[in-house]
């Protein structure tokens, strides 16, 4: 059920003195908060529990009420799309969420959208939306590293900053954004780098900007194709191609790649060492799978840098694709979207350069 912050305040009997009438002035933006669960909606056993807690416990109405300052920024309403920990996200969840965002973005009474999300797969969802939702309205994905019950909880400020960005005209046209730890990052670039600190999310190319005391400060803009300029459209996308990731390591067996192909994978992301390196004993297996129509995409398990085409393997000779600077999980998202539309390796490599 859709809930407005104003209606909820009336229902719970919040004193009139806490209501800022100016917040509902005609010039305030309309922002919809779509809640999906995660740590930002989590609860721990005590205030000392910042790393051990239960995710996806707090519903969207209570989440909004926990940050009354939101009313000074925009007119808010919320929807509970899912209530799950983000490691449980599937392709079906991505499609459902994307279609709901697309529908909301078409409404004249919606100026921006915030998605609250667990941090484990937040970067994947943000990139998927960046690829598929055709709108120039701000879409901001936000989470937290600590539950709201922790004494050092980060979710309230992260959510406040997300609404600030979603309500801002200067955030339009910049693709899907992620606001964590005062930073504004591109949903395309950002990744989770640590699991127990509030500065967990970063891009190797740096943030797009920052939010400080309710104001946006921008320093760069995305250059890769996204949202309005994307050839992929969530409204025409009903399923994602099956794509699997195989993690490279010193003793990795060829049977893992064969098993992924046998399970129906149309592409395999090789999360290789270094520059997407492939062990010599694995090369014949990947060549054979490519000959059977499975796309082979070389990514890297290292957290920074990018995979150079033909630098570690003769990709042209093998008809393999390189993921450029996309990590394995984001490479999976792009391949799953792209292969739902075409199947040739030339176009697949093109989109890895362009997106």
Residues annotated as catalytic are: 39, 119
Q: How far is CA 71 from the centre of its chain?
A: 26
Counting Cα atoms < 13 Å in the Cβ hemisphere of 95 gives 13
How far is it, in rounded angstroms, from Cα 37 to Cα 23?
A: 27
Contacts 24+ apart (CB under 8 A), 17-22: 18/68, 19/71, 20/71, 20/72, 22/72
Encode 20-39: b = buried (16+ Cβ within 10 Å), e = exposed: eeebeeeebbbbbbbbbbbb
Residues whose CB falls within 8 Å of the CB of residue 345, separated by 6 or more in sequence, listed in order: 295, 319, 320, 321
What is the radius of gyration, based on Cα positions, of the chain?
21
| 3-state secondary structure at position 245 | strand
Cα separation values, 118 from 13, 84, 141, 147, 302, Å: 30, 8, 10, 11, 23
Q: How far is CA 72 from CA 69, 221, 242, 353, in A?
A: 6, 27, 44, 41
User: Strand 267-272's sheet: what is its strand order?
Assistant: 243-247, 267-272, 295-300, 321-322
Distance CA 355, CA 338 (A): 11
Can you tell me whether residue 349 is helix, strand or coil? helix
What 8-state DSSP symbol labels residue 94?
H
> Could you tell me if 114 and 211 are in contact, meaning their C-beta atoms sit under 8 angstroms apart?
no
């Amino acid at each position: 059920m859709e809930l407005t912050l104003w209606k909820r305040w009336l229902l719970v009997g919040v004193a009139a003195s806490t209501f800022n009438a100016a917040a509902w002035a005609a010039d305030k933006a309309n922002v919809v908060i779509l809640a999906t669960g995660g740590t930002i909606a989590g609860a721990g056993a005590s205030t000392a529990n910042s790393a051990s807690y239960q995710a996806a416990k707090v519903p969207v109405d209570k989440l909004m009420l926990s940050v009354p300052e939101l009313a000074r920024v925009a007119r808010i309403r919320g929807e509970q799309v899912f209530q799950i920990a983000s490691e449980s996200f599937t392709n079906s969840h991505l499609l459902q969420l994307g279609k709901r965002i697309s529908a909301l973005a078409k409404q004249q009474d919606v100026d921006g959208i915030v998605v609250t999300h667990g941090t484990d797969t937040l970067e994947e969802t943000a990139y998927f939306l960046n690829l598929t939702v055709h709108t120039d309205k701000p879409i901001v994905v936000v989470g937290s590293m600590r539950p709201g019950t922790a004494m050092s909880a980060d979710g309230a400020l992260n959510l406040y900053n997300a609404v600030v960005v979603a309500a801002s005209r200067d955030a339009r046209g910049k693709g899907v954004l992620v606001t964590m730890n005062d930073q504004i990052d591109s949903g395309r670039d950002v990744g989770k780098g640590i699991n127990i600190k509030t500065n967990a999310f970063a891009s190797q190319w740096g943030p797009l900007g920052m939010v400080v005391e309710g104001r946006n400060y921008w320093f760069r803009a995305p250059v890769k194709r996204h949202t309005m300029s994307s050839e992929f459209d969530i409204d025409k996308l009903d399923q994602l191609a099956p794509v699997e990731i195989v993690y490279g390591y010193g003793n990795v067996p060829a049977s893992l790649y064969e098993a992924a192909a046998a399970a129906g994978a149309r592409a395999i992301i090789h999360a290789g060492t270094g520059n997407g390196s492939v062990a010599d004993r694995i090369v014949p297996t990947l060549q054979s799978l490519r000959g059977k129509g499975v796309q082979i995409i070389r990514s890297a398990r290292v957290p920074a840098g990018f995979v150079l085409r033909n630098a570690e393997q003769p990709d042209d000779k093998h008809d393999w694709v390189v993921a450029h600077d996309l990590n394995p999980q984001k490479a999976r998202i792009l391949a799953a979207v792209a292969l739902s539309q075409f199947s040739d390796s030339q176009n697949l490599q093109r989109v890895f350069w362009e997106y």
